[in-house]
Amino acid sequence: MLKHQEYTAWVSVDGQPLEVYAVETSLATNEVTCWIASEAGKEFSVHCQNTSAPGVDTIGAFVYIDGQGCHGGLFERWSTDHTINISNAFVSDRITKSLVFSTVRLTDEDEFVDTSSADLGQIQIRVCKVTLGDYYNPSQDRLQTEHKVHERSKKAVTHCVGLGEETIVPQTMLRKSQCIGQPLAVFTFKYRDRNLLKANGVIPTPAPLKRKASQEIIDLTVNDVRVGSNRSNDLVRGEHTSQRTKETERKNKKVKQEQKPGVFVEVIDLT
């Protein structure tokens, strides 16, 4: 999540806020920017919350997708939930479609070299004081979702925002608004494929685990001596020597066994 003064903003997928990376804040312009990882085919929602006490000013939060105005909402002074949630875009006054991360179409047509929108790959929320105007048909805010990027583009943008499932809603009219003065907060989420963010160091990769030094396994059973007693499973371990030459000598010695009633003793002939 991003936060500036009394305002918080986030982008969610499957009901969970996406993690933000490389957050930068400019107090001079009230701007907060970050990177988020996008996944093609995933629907997402945009959220903005106002935690300030109700005032006399009318404050709204407005969403911009890939540089295009989508729509937003007003923080109602009489509401107990001061959160604006945007998960769809209008395609007519009665039809909305869900917002979804999509794949940019690559082209080799020269007219697309360096002509892609500078804001492609961005989701932005602007919070500001507003004055309200006339009502209008929401289809006027229809998003352009067909984006082409030249194969030689240096922007490395592989994702854009498209439209998903269609929903029929009651006939709706939106109200025009105009910002007054400098925005109170501007939140910009730059979205890219996760692998691309990792490759560019935006998402830190965990340090490789160090391999533990191999441990020498010492077989101590070479000099074991079994002694018969009331505890037949008792094991008496002999002293181990690290010199291989001595081990070789011992192995070459003749081993004699003497059997006594109730006792089994292994006798090593050193002569």
pLDDT tens across 201-234, in order?
A: 999 888 777 666 555 554 545 444 444 444 444 4
User: Distance (Å, rounded) from C-alpha 79 to C-alpha 159?
Assistant: 36
pLDDT at position 108 is 62
Average pLDDT over the chain reads: 77
Distances (CA, A) of 124 to 66, 198, 254: 8, 22, 87
pLDDT at position 62 is 93
pLDDT at position 255 is 43
Burial of 31 (0-12, 13-18, 19+ CB in 10 A): middle
**With a threshold of 0.75, does the pTM exceed it?**
no
In this prediction, the residues of the chain whose per-residue pLDDT falls under 50 are 113-115, 218, 220, 222-242, 253-271
pLDDT at position 171 is 79
Angle at 120 between CA 197 and CA 112, to 5 degrees: 110
pLDDT digits (tens, 9 = 90+) for 109-152: 655 544 456 788 999 999 999 998 888 877 766 777 666 665 65
Residue reference for tokens 């965990």: 206
pLDDT at position 227 is 43
Burial of 197 (0-12, 13-18, 19+ CB in 10 A): buried
Closest CA to 99 of 156, 167, 22: 167
- 84: tokens are 């604006």
CB 132 within 8 A of CB 170: no
pLDDT at position 65 is 93
Query: How many C-beta neighbours within 10 Å does residue 157 have?
Result: 21
- 15: tokens are 């009901």
pLDDT at position 264 is 42
Half-sphere exposure of 133 (CA within 13 A, CB side): 6
